[in-house]
């Protein structure tokens, strides 16, 4: 089954929530874990187990594992393996972006079946041009995997690039939306090429003339919960594309750890809140 189909089924079954696996130092300390590869593995395994049948997906942030070198990457492999064992969708937050053989190498690391860091979907940065992502897009399509392309992020610095206009007057973010939508034409129930769009971008969608309604692919949306976006902001940002939105939460639920049952309850509550916000 292709990524878009799997994700749509998971969102229908347990709600539109993706739980970040972000084992930063402060959170590890809060959980009573050491900042070691073993601590990362324990953290990630707990999040995975609490997310099974309560979240549509989990999203490990590779940066927190990479900083521990080879042993940190081994911990990430372990966490990914645990998620696969429980048929839990994984989105690798790596934001890879390059050209040619280098982009192909990144794609092979994450989107090839049997790769040590195999995941179900990968975040990509398109700011060397959307076409530079072709090796990853092709390998994902070949293997039924997904990608999430950075389109309109909520960090203040992003606007200087994403809001810029091309010679034809189209915003850079608009180009990313249009290119992604072309990859999803005809897919049912939705395509495999998604976007990352912050829930806190305010009026940027209308200001830039962007309509997500034709994307026909998933939208990974950070910014709800701890970052402040509520139903009004969600409606303003996503409009008639709200059924495509997969809400990402990290701090808002991870602070409920380290006990798996309490964390599971927080995830269930966040999934319900996300469902309400998107349907309000």
**DSSP reduced 3-state for 266:** helix
Q: How many CB atoms lie within 10 A of CB 153?
A: 20
Residue with tokens 């039924």: 144
Q: What is the C-alpha to C-alpha distance for residues 266 and 150, in angstroms, rounded to an integer?
A: 27
C-alpha dist (Å) from residue 152 to 69, 84, 162, 235: 31, 30, 6, 16
- Please give the helix or strand (H or E) that residue 85 lies within, else none: helix 69-85
- Measuring CA to CA, which residue among 151, 203, 2 is closest to residue 89? 2
- Please give the helix or strand (H or E) that residue 146 lies within, else none: strand 146-152
**DSSP reduced 3-state for 262:** helix
CB 130 within 8 A of CB 175: yes
> Which structure tokens are listed for 223?
């910014």
- Please give the helix or strand (H or E) that residue 139 lies within, else none: helix 134-143
Phi (first) and psi of residue 193, to 5 degrees: -100, 105
What is the set of active-site residues? 95
> Which structure tokens are listed for 72?
């940190």
Packing angle between helix 260-279 and helix 231-238, nearest 10 degrees? 60
The radius of gyration of the chain's CA atoms, rounded to the nearest angstrom, is: 18
């Amino acid at each position: 089954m292709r990524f878009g189909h799997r994700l749509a089924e998971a969102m229908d079954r347990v709600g539109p929530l993706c739980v970040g696996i972000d084992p930063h130092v402060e959170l590890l300390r809060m959980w009573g874990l050491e900042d070691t590869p073993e601590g990362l593995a324990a953290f990630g395994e707990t999040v995975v187990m609490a997310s099974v049948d309560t979240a549509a997906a989990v999203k490990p942030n590779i940066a927190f594992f990479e900083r521990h070198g080879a042993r940190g990457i081994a911990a990430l492999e372990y966490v990914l393996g645990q998620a696969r064992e429980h048929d839990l969708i994984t989105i690798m937050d790596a934001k890879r972006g390059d050209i040619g053989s280098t982009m192909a190498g990144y794609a092979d690391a994450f989107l090839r079946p049997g790769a040590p860091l195999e995941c179900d979907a990968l975040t990509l940065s398109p700011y060397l041009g959307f076409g530079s992502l072709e090796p990853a897009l092709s390998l994902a399509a070949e293997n039924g995997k997904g990608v999430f392309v950075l389109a309109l992020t909520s960090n203040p610095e992003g606007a200087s690039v994403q809001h810029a206009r091309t010679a034809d007057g189209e915003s850079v973010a608009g180009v990313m939306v249009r290119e992604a939508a072309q990859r999803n034409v005809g897919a049912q129930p939705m395509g495999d090429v998604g976007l990352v769009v912050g829930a806190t971008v305010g009026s940027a969608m209308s200001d830039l003339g962007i309509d997500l309604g034709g994307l026909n692919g998933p939208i990974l949306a950070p910014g709800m919960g701890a970052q402040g976006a509520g139903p009004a902001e969600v409606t303003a940002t996503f409009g008639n594309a709200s059924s495509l939105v997969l809400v990402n939460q990290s701090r808002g639920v991870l602070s409920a750890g380290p006990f798996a049952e309490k964390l599971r309850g927080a995830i269930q509550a966040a999934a319900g809140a996300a469902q309400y916000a998107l349907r309000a």
